[in-house]
Amino acid sequence: MDQSTETTNTSGPGKSTTTLNGGQSVSKRLQTELMQLMMSTTPGISAFPTDGNLQHWTGTINGPEGTPYESLTFKLSLEFPSNYPMAPPTVLFTTPMFHPNVDMSGRICLDILKDKWSAVYNVQSILLSLQSLLGEPNNKSPLNGQAAELWDKDPKEYKRLLMLRHKEAED
């Protein structure tokens, strides 16, 4: 059986995803995604391979306007498995984070990174989803119970604790 079968799915103007079976599939897919990100005009998100390693990227998201995260920048680590895009990458906040759906180790509770993953998602859609999550947490599934409670009940204390955590990144 041919291990280098290629299929291309187009999901709108200028958007295509290529899935290959075989050893080069992950690299080819990630190279395509890198080019798409570099050519994108989407503000507030970026990602690049770390030290030239296509399977380990560093991502950056800016906090959305009108949220406690506004004017803050957050770094993420993205590790792509050998069967990407059939399986999701492991994504962690490396900037200390205070958020209902992020634990103190930076692990994220987001359905598209777990059971709702689909090969149609890419680095850009992951970063945009995480940016959106900053302003719209899922308090029904918190990893950080204190943050979930404060989100609605005490926005000033929430912001204070967020800034304390974020300051750790600068120290």
pLDDT at 171: 64
Residue 58 domain boundaries: 26-168
pTM for this structure?
A: 0.83
Report yes or no on 88 lying in a domain. Answer: yes
pLDDT score of 22 more than 70: no
Region of 66 (left: φ > 0; alpha: ψ -120 to 50; beta: rest) is left
142 domain residue, yes or no: yes
pLDDT at 159 over 50: yes
Which residues participate in catalysis according to the annotation?
A: 109
Domain contains 21: no
Q: What is the pLDDT of residue 116?
A: 96
In a domain, 17, yes or no: no
- CA dist 166 and 114 (Å) reads 26
Cβ–Cβ contacts within 10 Å for residue 165, how many? 17
Question: Contact at 8 Å (CB) between 116 and 129?
Answer: no
Q: What are phi and psi of 168, to 5 degrees?
A: -55, -30
Contact 49/113 with Cβ under 8 angstroms? no
pLDDT tens track for 46-97: 999 999 899 999 999 999 999 999 999 999 999 999 999 999 999 999 999 9
Number of domains present in the structure of the chain? 1
Asked if residue 63 belongs to a domain, the reply is: yes
User: Is residue 13 domain-resident?
Assistant: no
Residue 155 lies in a domain: yes
Structural domain includes residue 85: yes
pLDDT 10s digits, 120-155: 999 999 999 999 999 999 999 899 999 999 999 999
The CATH number for 164's domain is: 3.10.110.10
